[in-house]
Amino acid sequence: MTELRHVAIHGDDVAYRDQGEGPAVILVHGMASSSQTWDSVLEPLARHLRVVAPDLLGHGITAKPRTDYSVGAHANTIRDLMAELGIDRATIVGHSLGGGVAMQFAYQFPERCERLVLVAAGGLGPDVAFLLRALTLPGSEYVLALACHTKVVDAGGALTGWLRNLGVQLRPGAAEVLRCHGSLSDGQARDALVQTLRSVIDVRGQRVSATNRLYLARDLPTLIVWGDRDTIIPVSHAYAANAALERSRLELFEGAGHFPHCDQPQRFVELLVDFVRSTEPASDIPTALSRAGS
């Protein structure tokens, strides 16, 4: 596993992984996750690219202050981290919530975004799993505290170990879900999760959408990756986004769920490396976005 490094951004400690040389790629994880979600792809990618994978505020071992956890705030953190690391422009890769952050980054800082990669991305329509909608209800934080109590997490770990001894291996995506669940045994992480959820989702579904702004990214090279068995965010969002973006490429991972990069890491690495090598970075997006915002 690539060693975690640390940098202070506006007084908050931000942990990140940084490995490899070449064109820069920023990997942005999803909700309740961390840079660990990229463990199976980071080192193979770093043989070809410079790969930076942060723990977003409120996630992993990065600070968990009482602050703004909106997609815009996370996009600001990515921009500030790039500045600290001397990275002017990069391909932004976002999974789930990170996909929404990646799209927001491209909208806010088009001059810094060379390409966009959306992996089972949020922010492309209202549909989302019922559990996430339920967790936005008043009092859900108390239910979450019980569901993620240390004893419950430990029991889940023991069950996983027992199944492994019997020769039953969890799919990588399922193992990632359990890791996310385990991270929420920390009260500060749970608080950050609830704040993040409520900033993008309500009981009716996703309430932050980039769909009405996708036309602004029509000239931005975009790769869309989705598992065809995603039960968190439906694959129909991938088809709609691909239809709306002129320079997009859609890749469906058959048999994969919400974590296609975990379920099929080799294919993901090959796709991403090929995408970076075979596409020219966006050059005229800032002008187009500036006109649209004026």
Active-site annotation, residues: 96, 230, 258
- Which residues, listed in sequence order, are joined to residue 248 by a DSSP beta bridge? 222
Residues 251/271, Cβ–Cβ less than 8 Å: yes
Could you give the 3-state DSSP secondary structure of residue 132? helix
| Cα(270)–Cα(36) distance, integer angstroms | 19
For 119, 170, 288, the CA distances from 71, given in Å and listed in that order, are 16, 31, 22
- Is the CB of residue 256 less than 8 Å from the CB of residue 227? yes
Pairing of strands 222-227, 248-253: parallel
Q: Which two tokens stand for residue 59?
A: 């996630």
